[in-house]
Chain A
Amino acid sequence: MSIKISETLTFECETGNYHTFCPISCVAWLYQKIEDSFFLVVGTKTCGYFLQNALGVMIFAEPRYAMAELEEGDISAQLNDYQELKRLCLQVGKDRNPSVIIWIGTCTTEIIKMDLEGMAPKLENEIGIPIIVARANGLDYAFTQGEDTVLAAMAHRCPEEENLIRNPQKNEKKSMEKLFSSLPIETEKKIKKSLINRQNRFSLVLFGSLPSTVASQLSLELNRQSINVSGWLPAQRYTDLPILGNNVYVCGVNPFLSRTATTLMRRRKCKLIGAPFPIGPDGTRAWIEEICSVFGIDTQGLGEREQQIWESLRNYLNLVNGKSVFFMGDNLLEISLARFLIRCGMIVYEIGIPYMDKRYQAAELTFLQTTCKKMCVPMPRIVEKPDNYNQIQRMRELQPDLAITGMAHANPLEARGINTKWSVEFTFAQIHGFTNAKDVLELVTRPLRRNNNLENLGWTDLVREG
């Protein structure tokens, strides 16, 4: 096995034998985000058992999600799917009175070809509650991509903007050119135009589910640059979905939302701003700059703001500087996190990632490349659909200072003296924007700080090699 660190970004694809969460896990954070929703996962005991264990304590808090557990009669079509779903949805409607029911299709519904998309509109009419169908199954998707399928389905439900004056602007053309272009290093000097004026013709909708505090932090950052965020997909309530249409610019906040982006562009005629993702102060700045440049706005004090955040991170940076990282890959945040960590002075050996959308992540990939050059470190290898067994062999050779990995491998790696950080935590922690850059490093440095405390005890390797 050759382990080379190359000079350019290399993309590889392995066997896809890797550990990740099932995409239905997205109900865990989405039901909390969308307060008036109810998630109905149409699947088997296996799905239910996964959710029960993955969601842990949340289960006991009367969650607004449930399994429609398929039994043998459902599989062999002895029972009528439509009647069964109607019975359950009526009960959900009666008990919880949700504004929307989201059906999560699973592997089983795919295999038995249950026509959820066909049944939903009929049932919706009959019971008077909107029903959205998302196929978040393990046959097609990994972990966070579940949110992507839900948001893509939800994008169809956003209200249509009323016919505003359609005035093709210079800006529009410019933004289209920029769609997948690299990050502009210098922003053109322009006279700032009245925000109010601009808002009448164009609006900005951000997509991606974030805790409401993080969402308002990001909105606030854009506000400082005189940009008003007109809505979020998803909003806090289903009834508050943002207005979409061809005068709406959209921008993603997470790297795993490529289907949602495609849907917004193709089906809702929105204009996509392709930018790096607001993870880390460098990412946040680049994200804001890209949005501002699309609207022809000069950024105000962004450089100082970024600098100030880096200053505040100094203690963490001292800890991570020169240390090496290995991403096993399971949640699609890997590219952005790696880019941020490289900027922090770390060396990334490998970025495992379940799925790599080179178009949607174009700006982020370019940014990763420039960051590597700037920091004078070799480019990491990007391994799509990784093979965990091979990765562990590579890690044995490379002995990284930190492995970012799923929970299935964390304890065994720790027992072999390799520091680990669970990748899942990055999905649940607040990592977006300037304010939360610290939280990312808090997570990344935790095993390193733990080591500082436990150093010299002589018990790093805790397995008998037989």
Chain B
Amino acid sequence: MKLAYWMYAGPAHIGTLRVASSFKNVHAIMHAPLGDDYFNVMRSMLERERDFTPVTASIVDRHVLARGSQEKVVDNISRKDKQERPDLILLTPTCTSSILQEDLQNFVDRASTISDSDVILADVNHYRVNEIQAADRTLEQVVRYYLEKARRQGNLNLSLTDKPSANIIGIFTLGFHNQHDCRELKRLLKDLGIEINQVIPEGGLVENLHQLPKAWFNLVPYREVGLMTAKYLEKEFGMSYISTTPMGVVDIANCIRQIEERINLLSPISLNGKVNYEPYIDEQTRFISQAAWFSRSIDCQNLTGKKAVVFGDATHAASITKILACEMGIRVSCAGTYCKHDGEWFKEQVQNFCDEILVTDDHTEVGDMIARIEPSAIFGTQMERHIGKRLDIPCGVISSPVHIQNFTLGYRPFLGYEGTNQVADLVYNSFTLGMEDHLLEIFGGHDTKEVITKSLSTDTDLTWNSESQLELNKIPGFVRGKIKRNTEKFARQNGVAKITVEIMYAAKEALNA
């Protein structure tokens, strides 16, 4: 057993559900007790999703515990098949069903004979993998299923598209700024004259998955989700993939050069001329993106040598560390990630760019590290933001897990050239806010004149008896003053000199009457 009240990555089924609900017309059925469909709330609230989340539960209750699910799961699958006519129904085990050890594969086999939809069982072990790993695994499983199905049916078309084209793999629901990143990547590829073959899983149709091999290469922007799929496609169809995250000016250029290499490798086959992206990279870096100029400007000079701490998922933490260290001259005292399964890769990526490396999924360890280092700014998840609040250190949020405010309505990519501008803003704002705070403290704040009274009423004519005083103290601090004022106003209006608990409530009732 582990004592914990916060975790960076959720349970496995969340990852599976994120992939399933990102595809169009795919329905997930969870084998779970009442209340485990919390995923629907997250998607509906955080992503402000307009459509009903295509996830339902086949409820595990006392009866199931006593006698097994029996027909229930199969019934639920065929019912959903008739109601929504999805292309695919993904039966999703949860921690509960893992222990029950029911033969879910058997339910799936039976259900698939009677339903029009394809039915598969998500193959994830609840006690061995987390949300991120499960998402990666599920995406690969779905892709594999449809490619093998196409191969069996003989409608696998392996010829490449005429023009250079790419698949973008790993954009999905509840991902950190994924929607914006996707738009930015599409724009980047369009600028390079590359067509988008497919984006999966977000908005993809499983019926189209058999066309994945037509692309010239796969682009996997995030390490967490999509690598397994890309490796599978490489092994089965010889498709090469690029997994350099195009975040930060340097890595975008790296990524584009790799793309250039792939295209020039294949262009003789399709008889297109060779491409040269160097002029594009140069133009974008020096004049379109503001980040390169920003790093030369005197604003950024002031940041030189300032201490920062970075923590997040492997992709974002590694990229941001490199941006801070190489592109802005900030000293990264510690870079860390909670992706323990990818710890080796992470260490390799950041080891020359930071003083120390922390790989942990224990938020208290991260908190202690930050308290020890006392950086000028933190770049982390929502948890680090709250640690920062407690320690009075500003924090820029750069990675999941996140709150609703990180699902912005405005365009905020982290990837591509527009992403470099956004990251520069984020970094700069975090530090200046810290500086301002510091200066204010030194010079004693904005208001140098002492405020005589903050409440409109002075306590001359009214007395509060001890109960009402006690009652007043129970009211949360931020509204207490207002309640006090309103009560006293009410008391004066009614010619009451002594305030009792009764008067307090009478005042509340009188208000807005």
Sorting the interface of chain A by its residue count into under 10, 10 to 19, 20 to 34 or 35 or more gives 35 or more
Within 8 A of A (CB), among B401-443: 403
B42 part of interface (Cβ distance < 8 Å): yes
- Does A410 touch B at the CB level, under 8 Å? yes
User: What residues of A have a CB within 8 angstroms of the CB of B32 in the complex?
Assistant: 138
Kindly state whether residue B462 has any CB partner on chain A within 8 Å. Answer: no
| Pairwise interchain contact B1-A59, C-beta atoms closer than 8 A | no
Interchain nearest-CB distance for B387 vs A (Å): 8
User: Which of B48-56, B227-235, B332-340 has 4 or more CB atoms under 8 Å from chain A?
Assistant: B48-56
Contacts of A434 in B (CB 8 A): 509
Interface hits, B13-43 → A, CB 8 Å: 13-14, 32-38, 40-42
Given A110-B65, A111-B100: A72 in contact with B501 (beta carbons within 8 A): no
Majority SS at the chain A contact face: helix
Q: Tell me the B residues contacting A by CB distance below 8 Å.
A: 1-7, 10-11, 13-14, 32-38, 40-42, 44-45, 48-53, 56-57, 59-62, 65, 76, 83, 94-96, 99-100, 126-128, 130, 383, 386, 389, 403, 471, 474-475, 501-502, 505, 508-510, 512-513
Interface string of A401-423 (1 = CB under 8 A from B): 00000111111100100000000
Which residues of chain A from 180 to 217 have any CB-CB distance to chain B below 8 Å in the complex? 212-213, 216-217
What's the Cα separation between A142 and B471 when bound, in Å? Answer: 33
Contacts known (A66-B5, A107-B60, A411-B50); A142 close to B35, Cβ less than 8 A: yes
- Residues of B within 8 Å of A54, CB to CB, are 38, 41
Subset of 17 A-B contacts with CB under 8 Å: A17-B56, A17-B76, A44-B95, A45-B7, A45-B130, A66-B3, A69-B2, A87-B1, A88-B1, A107-B33, A112-B99, A138-B35, A140-B62, A142-B34, A212-B474, A220-B501, A407-B41
* Min CB gap A418→B, angstroms: 12
- Are A72 and B128 closer than 8 Å at their CB atoms? yes
Taking a contact as CB atoms closer than 8 A, the residue among B33, B49, B95, B505 that contacts A139 in the complex is B33
Q: What chain A residues lie within 8 Å of B471 (beta carbons)?
A: 213, 216
A74, CB-defined interface residue at 8 Å: yes
Let me know if A20 is at the binding interface, CB within 8 A. Answer: yes
Q: Which residues of B contact A66 (CB under 8 A)?
A: 3-5
A408-B1 contact in complex given A71-B127, A415-B51, C-beta closer than 8 Å: no
Measured CB to CB, the closest approach of chain B to A425, in angstroms, equals 13
Known contacts: A49-B14, A111-B65, A139-B62. The answer to whether A22 contacts B96 by CB under 8 A is no
Residue of B nearest to A48 (CB): B7
Q: Indicate which residue in B45, B50, B403, B512 contacts A407 across the interface (CB closer than 8 Å).
A: B45
Closest residue on chain A to residue B2 by CB atoms: A69
Q: CB-nearest residue of chain A relative to B47?
A: A411
Closest 8 pairs (CB-CB, A-B): A22-B35, A138-B33, A408-B40, A312-B513, A415-B50, A60-B386, A45-B11, A138-B35
Write the A53-89 contact mask toward B (1 if CB under 8 angstroms, else 0).
1101001100101111111101100010000110110
Q: Of all chain B residues, which has the CB nearest A438?
A: B512
- CB pair A139–B60 under 8 Å, yes or no, is yes
In the complex, which of the residues A139, A217, A462 contacts B50, with contact meaning CB atoms closer than 8 Å? A462
Query: Which of A48, A143, A463 has most chain B Cβ within 10 Å?
Result: A48
Q: Kindly identify which residue among A60, A75, A216, A409 contacts B52, using a CB–CB cutoff of 8 Å.
A: A409
- In the assembly, what is the distance between CA of A1 and CA of B56, in Å? 22
A108-B95, A408-B53 given as contacts; is B61 within 8 A of A140 (CB)? yes
Closest-CB distance, B4 to chain A (whole angstroms) = 5
Known contacts A79-B1, A216-B501: A44-B126 contact under CB 8 Å = yes
Say yes or no: is A46 at the interface (Cβ < 8 Å to chain B): yes
Residue of A22, A49, A143 near B10 (CB, 8 A) is: A49
Seed contacts A50-B35, A407-B44; 7 additional CB < 8 Å A-B pairs: A24-B35, A45-B130, A408-B37, A411-B44, A412-B49, A412-B50, A415-B51
Find out whether the CB atom of B45 lies under 8 angstroms from the CB atom of A411.
Answer: yes
- Complex: how many Å from CA A79 to CA B56? 34
Q: Using Cβ atoms and an 8 Å threshold, which residues of chain A touch B96?
A: 46, 107-108, 111
Most A Cβ at <10 Å: residue of B13, B96, B126: B96
A349 close to chain B: CB less than 8 A: no
On whether the beta carbons of B42 and A21 are closer than 8 Å, the reply is no
Interface contact A68-B1, CB-CB below 8 Å: yes
CB neighbours of A412 from chain B (8 A): 44, 49-53
Q: How far is the CA of A52 from the CA of B128 in the complex (A)?
A: 21
Q: Are B7 and A49 in contact (CB under 8 A)?
A: yes
Residues in chain A near residue B13, CB distance under 8 A: 46
Residues of B within 8 A of A307 (CB): none
Residues in A whose Cβ lies below 8 Å from that of B510 = 312
Q: Could you give, for residues 345-371 of chain A, a 1 whenever the CB lies within 8 Å of some chain B CB and a 0 otherwise?
A: 000000000000000000000000000
CB distance from B343 to the nearest CB of A (A): 19
- Is A178 an interface position by the 8 A CB rule? no
Q: Does A284 contact B (CB under 8 A)?
A: no
Question: In the complex, A78 Cα to B65 Cα: how many Å?
Answer: 23
Q: Are A435 and B1 in contact (CB under 8 A)?
A: no
Identity of the chain A residue whose Cβ is nearest the Cβ of B50 in the assembled complex:
A415
Q: Tell me, yes or no, whether A311 is within 8 Å of chain B by CB.
A: yes
Q: Are A67 and B44 in contact (CB under 8 A)?
A: no
A139 touches B5 (CB 8 A): no
Which residues from chain A contact B10 at a C-beta distance below 8 Å? 45, 49
Task: Choose one: B36, B42, B57; the contact of A46 (CB below 8 Å).
Answer: B36
B411 → chain A closest CB, angstroms: 20
Contact (A48, B4) CB under 8 Å given A111-B100, A216-B501, A408-B44: yes
Cα-based distance from A107 to B13 in the complex (angstroms): 16
- Contact in complex: A19, B40 (CB < 8 Å): yes
Q: How far is B507's CA from A217's CA once the two chains are assembled, in angstroms?
A: 13
A431-466 contact mask (Cβ, 8 Å, vs B): 1 or 0: 000110010000000000000000000000011000
Q: Complex: how many Å from CA A23 to CA B56?
A: 19
**Binary interface profile of A, 10-30, with partner B (CB < 8 Å = 1, else 0)?**
000000110111111000000
Min distance, Cβ A239 to any Cβ of chain B, angstroms: 18
Interface residue A97 (Cβ < 8 Å from any Cβ of B): no
With both chains docked as a complex, state the minimum distance between the C-beta of A177 and any C-beta of chain B, in angstroms. Answer: 34
A-chain residues with CB within 8 Å of residue B60 when the two chains form the complex: 107, 139
Residue of B3, B130, B508 touching A88 (CB-CB under 8 A): B3
Question: Across the interface, do A69 and B38 meet the contact criterion of CB distance under 8 Å?
Answer: no
**What distance in Å separates the Cβ of B386 from its nearest Cβ neighbour in chain A?**
4
- The answer to whether B61 touches A75, judged by C-beta atoms less than 8 angstroms apart, is no
Q: How distant is the Cα of A44 from the Cα of B7 in the complex, in angstroms?
A: 12
Interface assignment of A158: CB less than 8 Å from any CB of chain B: no
Contact A311 B513 (CB under 8 A): yes
Distance A220 CA – B50 CA, assembled complex (angstroms): 45
Q: In the complex, which of the residues B33, B389, B509 has the most CB atoms of chain A within 10 Å of its own CB atom? A: B33
Give B33 Cβ to nearest chain A Cβ, in Å: 3
Q: Quick one: given A415-B50, A463-B50, are A70 and B1 in contact (CB under 8 Å)? A: yes
Q: Contacts of A79 on B, CB cut-off 8 Å?
A: 1
Tell whether A8 is near chain B: CB-to-CB under 8 Å: no
Chain B residue at minimum C-beta to C-beta distance from A23: B35
Q: Which of A50, A438, A463 has the most CB of B within 10 A?
A: A50
For the complex, is A309 an interface residue (Cβ under 8 Å from B)? yes
Contacts of B51 on A, CB cut-off 8 Å? 412, 415, 463
Are the CB atoms of A137 and B3 closer together than 8 Å? no
Instruction: Determine the residue in chain B with the shortest Cβ distance to A413.
Output: B52
| Cβ A44 vs Cβ B11 within 8 A | yes
Given contacts A45-B11, A46-B94, A108-B99, A20 and B35 within 8 Å (CB-CB): yes
Chain A residues positioned under 8 Å from B501 (CB to CB): 216, 220
Give the docked Cα–Cα distance between A23 and B33 (Å): 11
Are the C-beta atoms of A49 and B35 separated by less than 8 Å?
Answer: no
A445 to B5, CA, bound (A): 36
B3 lies within 8 A of A139 (CB): no
Complex formed: what's the CA distance from A53 to B36 in Å?
Answer: 12
Bound together, the chains give a CA A92 to CA B3 distance in angstroms of 9
Shortest CB–CB separation between residue A186 and chain B, in angstroms? Answer: 27
Give min CB distance, B414 to chain A, whole Å: 23
A141, B510: Cα distance in complex, Å: 40
Complexed CA–CA distance, A71 and B383 (Å): 23
Contacts of B389 in A (CB 8 A): 60
Contact present for B6 and A138 (CB under 8 Å): no
Instruction: Looking at the assembled complex, report how far the CB atom of B367 sits from the nearest CB atom of chain A, in whole angstroms.
Output: 11
